[in-house]
Chain A
Amino acid sequence: MSTLKKIIHSLAIPVLVAAILEGLCLTQGQNIITNAKSFDNFVVYTAIVMITTMALSINLNSGRFDFSLGSMAALSSVIGAEITYSALAGGKGSATMMLIVTVTVGCLLGLISGAIYVALRLPPIITSLGVTLIYEGIMYTITSGKYLMKEVQNSSMSAFANTWVYAFIIILVVLIFMVVVFEKTTFGYDYAALKSGQKVSINTGINEVKNALICYGICGALMGLVGFLNAARNTTINGGQLNFGSIAIMFTAFLPMFIGGYISQYCNEKMGFLLAAVCMSLLNSTFAVFQIK
């Protein structure tokens, strides 16, 4: 297939979705994107969906079902917000510091989750259920079950959420990072080998444990990023999510993963996830048009 045909096929679904949804919105006398703020929201949500989908796909593609994504995002953002607030009290540079701390904590939480899986050698779906409950419990204990508000409501965080530029940069960075790490490194080659033939790969000397731990670490860091973006977008973090209250975020990533998987027949898989996230974000903006009365 020629490059041009690949590009056309790759863009077909997002363009078609945009055309249909815009047509639907026009019946209401509106557009999908109504103003600059609406565009900011669109880009931020695209980043959230894309990153969550990538995080989900890392383990799911390897047959590891992970329920703990939402709890990692929530707990890392809670810890990030608390540490940042105690250091800067909502002052200048809060957003940058929280971003760094949240991603680092997310990575650690991911590694802990991976370590539990590796150490117990239980199916990941099971360990992730336990990890979800543990992280939710810790989060509840830290926040006393309350919403975090003052910790994330400051001018620095507002400045971050009030423009599409930062979210766009994050999308680019994550996209490049994921493509490079999973397609241009030894880790990525091992990951692909383990994905398609676990026993054969192990017999050829690939260290599965190390590979799995890195996967969980990256997954955690990505969910930390999602936690940060959600905190900036929502201006609050719900610290009272118990009894699997945090897993809903994972379900939002199934459909884009499915769509992205289809699109990736014609382009890079990670690019497919981005285009699928654009579709989901368009859909989200359209829902908003129909819901506001």
Chain B
Amino acid sequence: MKKRFAKLISLALVGVMSAGVLAGCGNSNDTASASKDGIKIGVLVADVSGEEALGFRNYYEEYIQNNYDVTFEYTDALESAEDEKAAIEKFTSKGYDAIISLSSSDRAQQIETCEEYGVYYAIASGVLDDEQYEQYKGYEYFVGQIGPSNETEFEAGKAMGEYYKEQGISTVAIYGAFIPNPMHVYRAAGIIAGLGDTYGGTDDMNGMIGQIFGDQAVDPSKIEGDVEVVAYLQGYGDTTTDELNAAIQKAPEAFLSVGMATTFFAQTLSQNDIQFADIDSFTEMNLDSMTNGTLTYLAGKYSSSIGPVFALVMNAVNGNVIRDNDGNAVSLSQGYLVATDVDSFNEYYVTDNGDTPIFDKESLDTIIGDAVTYDDVKALVESK
């Protein structure tokens, strides 16, 4: 009796599953026809919990979705290249019009997959490696990329280093966050260069980052120059509290971080009266840290910085695939906004929140339309 019941239930489940699959298949047609009414864009994300990632999502799902005839669907946290490819295939099967990627496990693979399925693709808040861009810039469905390039990451770190050097600081501690994450490697190299120091005898970006990738960390014994790096730590785990304590014991005049210090160390650094700098986002907690005087430098992206990428995709889906002057996919670099006091922080924090983002409907409308050109997009991106 029990066995028969289990079999019946199992059969019912199979039925439900099959119905689900059929529903999924049916969905494919439905969404394809629905796209005539509104554009559907799939968004690939790796980070689903960071302040910056949540800000981006809020901008697309709240502001853009309310102001344009578009629907965004976000993926779960994509961990690997396989996850990214499967996500693109799922969006494609559901008849999505375009993909915007905030996930970077294997962007080359993402472009090839979108090309294979004939779906428009753009990279937001980041760019391809130069060599990869050269390879893929002519792909038909690769719309473009707008975000900080590796050079921009290096420059963001460099500007931070220069700021403290100009303040006359002679000792610092550096937090390398999740090196060898490429973004963090470039920022760390930039900080060292900005401090006027050399790494392994060079202050050339490529020379430095090559060594840091090889070392899998920043090795302070290779740093030479006027500003002394008295402590270096990276990662986050069981030993971090001890490492931070050891760094604090070395009494650095400033604690320079390539990311996440505002989350991990704000309170401890504040208790020890050590000023710190970070590359993060304009959040309420960071405002508190800046108000109490501990956070003295913050380079951040703003949530609506992914607006122009949406405009590129929107144009492409509507038939206006914008190309640069050489006929290639658009590639524009976006810098960071820097706050060194409460006023400048507030300016970005207040401005980019809620209903009045920096890239609002009014400004985006200037680059959405059949007559919009590469120069229009470039001008708007560079103006902010």
> What is A's interface to B at a CB cutoff of 8 Å?
34-35, 37-38, 41, 45, 140, 144-147, 149-150, 153, 158, 233-236, 238-240, 242-243, 252, 284-285, 287-289, 291-293
A-B residue pairs in contact (CB < 8 Å), sample of 10:
A34-B245, A34-B246, A145-B48, A158-B271, A233-B241, A234-B241, A243-B76, A243-B77, A289-B242, A292-B231
Q: Give per-residue flags for B119-143: 1 if the beta carbon is below 8 A from chain A beta carbons, else 0.
A: 0000000000000000000000000
Question: Which of B50, B77, B241, B263 meets A41, CB within 8 Å?
Answer: B241
Measured in the bound complex, the distance between the Cα atoms of B241 and A234 in whole Å is: 7
Question: Which of B49, B217, B265, B268 meets A293, CB within 8 Å?
Answer: B217
Measured in the bound complex, the distance between the Cα atoms of B51 and A243 in whole Å is: 19
Complex contact A291–B233 (CB within 8 A): yes
Complex contact B239–A284 (CB within 8 A): yes
Measured in the bound complex, the distance between the Cα atoms of B78 and A242 in whole Å is: 12
Smallest CB-CB separation from B235: which chain A residue? Answer: A291
If A158-B267, A285-B242 touch, does A292 touch B77 (CB 8 Å cutoff)? Answer: no
Complex contact B54–A144 (CB within 8 A): yes
Complex contact A289–B246 (CB within 8 A): yes
Smallest CB-CB separation from B236: which chain A residue? Answer: A234
Complex contact A41–B246 (CB within 8 A): no
The reply on B37 being an interface residue by CB < 8 A is no
CB proximity of B237 to chain A, nearest CB, Å: 9
The reply on B12 being an interface residue by CB < 8 A is no
Measured in the bound complex, the distance between the Cα atoms of B77 and A147 in whole Å is: 16
The reply on B243 being an interface residue by CB < 8 A is yes
The reply on B232 being an interface residue by CB < 8 A is yes
Measured in the bound complex, the distance between the Cα atoms of B233 and A288 in whole Å is: 9
Complex contact B243–A292 (CB within 8 A): yes
Smallest CB-CB separation from A36: which chain B residue? Answer: B245
Q: Give per-residue flags for B214-239: 1 if the beta carbon is below 8 A from chain A beta carbons, else 0.
A: 00011111000000000111000011
CB proximity of A25 to chain B, nearest CB, Å: 12
Chain B residues with CB under 8 A of A284: 238-239, 242
The reply on B33 being an interface residue by CB < 8 A is no
CB proximity of A267 to chain B, nearest CB, Å: 26
If A144-B54, A288-B239, A288-B243 touch, does A242 touch B267 (CB 8 Å cutoff)? Answer: no
Q: Which of A38, A234, A284 has the most CB of B within 10 A?
A: A234
Complex contact A149–B285 (CB within 8 A): yes
Measured in the bound complex, the distance between the Cα atoms of B271 and A37 in whole Å is: 13
The reply on B356 being an interface residue by CB < 8 A is no
Smallest CB-CB separation from B49: which chain A residue? Answer: A240
Secondary structure at chain B's binding surface: helix, strand, loop or mixed? helix
CB proximity of B57 to chain A, nearest CB, Å: 10
The reply on B146 being an interface residue by CB < 8 A is no
Question: Which of A38, A140, A147, A242 meets B242, CB within 8 Å?
Answer: A38
Chain B residues with CB under 8 A of A145: 48-49, 54
If A34-B246, A45-B238, A239-B49 touch, does A292 touch B232 (CB 8 Å cutoff)? Answer: yes
Complex contact B249–A34 (CB within 8 A): yes
The reply on B256 being an interface residue by CB < 8 A is no
The reply on B247 being an interface residue by CB < 8 A is yes
Measured in the bound complex, the distance between the Cα atoms of B267 and A293 in whole Å is: 22
Complex contact A41–B242 (CB within 8 A): yes
Complex contact B267–A235 (CB within 8 A): yes
CB proximity of A172 to chain B, nearest CB, Å: 22
Given A147-B49, A150-B285, 7 extra CB contacts under 8 A: A34-B245, A35-B245, A145-B54, A235-B265, A240-B49, A243-B76, A292-B232
Measured in the bound complex, the distance between the Cα atoms of B238 and A163 in whole Å is: 18
Q: Give per-residue flags for B287-320: 1 if the beta carbon is below 8 A from chain A beta carbons, else 0.
A: 0100000000000000000000000000000000
Q: Which of A45, A149, A289 has the most CB of B within 10 A?
A: A149
What 3 pairs between A and B have smallest CB-CB spacing?
A240-B49, A288-B242, A145-B49
The reply on B266 being an interface residue by CB < 8 A is yes
Chain A residues with CB under 8 A of B242: 38, 41, 284-285, 288-289, 292
Measured in the bound complex, the distance between the Cα atoms of B285 and A241 in whole Å is: 21
Complex contact A146–B239 (CB within 8 A): no
Measured in the bound complex, the distance between the Cα atoms of B247 and A34 in whole Å is: 12
CB proximity of A145 to chain B, nearest CB, Å: 3
Question: Which of B218, B243, B249, B288 meets A291, CB within 8 Å?
Answer: B243
The reply on B264 being an interface residue by CB < 8 A is yes
Complex contact A147–B48 (CB within 8 A): no
Chain B residues with CB under 8 A of A34: 245-246, 249
CB proximity of B221 to chain A, nearest CB, Å: 8
Smallest CB-CB separation from B250: which chain A residue? Answer: A292
Measured in the bound complex, the distance between the Cα atoms of B233 and A236 in whole Å is: 18
Complex contact B48–A149 (CB within 8 A): no
Complex contact A149–B49 (CB within 8 A): no
Complex contact A293–B285 (CB within 8 A): no
Smallest CB-CB separation from B238: which chain A residue? Answer: A284
Complex contact B238–A252 (CB within 8 A): yes
Chain B residues with CB under 8 A of A45: 238, 241
Complex contact A236–B239 (CB within 8 A): no
CB proximity of A284 to chain B, nearest CB, Å: 5
CB proximity of A31 to chain B, nearest CB, Å: 11
Complex contact A235–B268 (CB within 8 A): yes
Measured in the bound complex, the distance between the Cα atoms of B246 and A252 in whole Å is: 23
Smallest CB-CB separation from A35: which chain B residue? Answer: B249
CB proximity of A242 to chain B, nearest CB, Å: 6
CB proximity of A271 to chain B, nearest CB, Å: 23
Q: Give per-residue flags for B264-290: 1 if the beta carbon is below 8 A from chain A beta carbons, else 0.
A: 111110010000000000000100100
CB proximity of B176 to chain A, nearest CB, Å: 10
Measured in the bound complex, the distance between the Cα atoms of B217 and A287 in whole Å is: 15
Chain A residues with CB under 8 A of B249: 34-35, 37
Smallest CB-CB separation from B271: which chain A residue? Answer: A158
Q: Which of A236, A284, A287, A292 has the most CB of B within 10 A?
A: A292
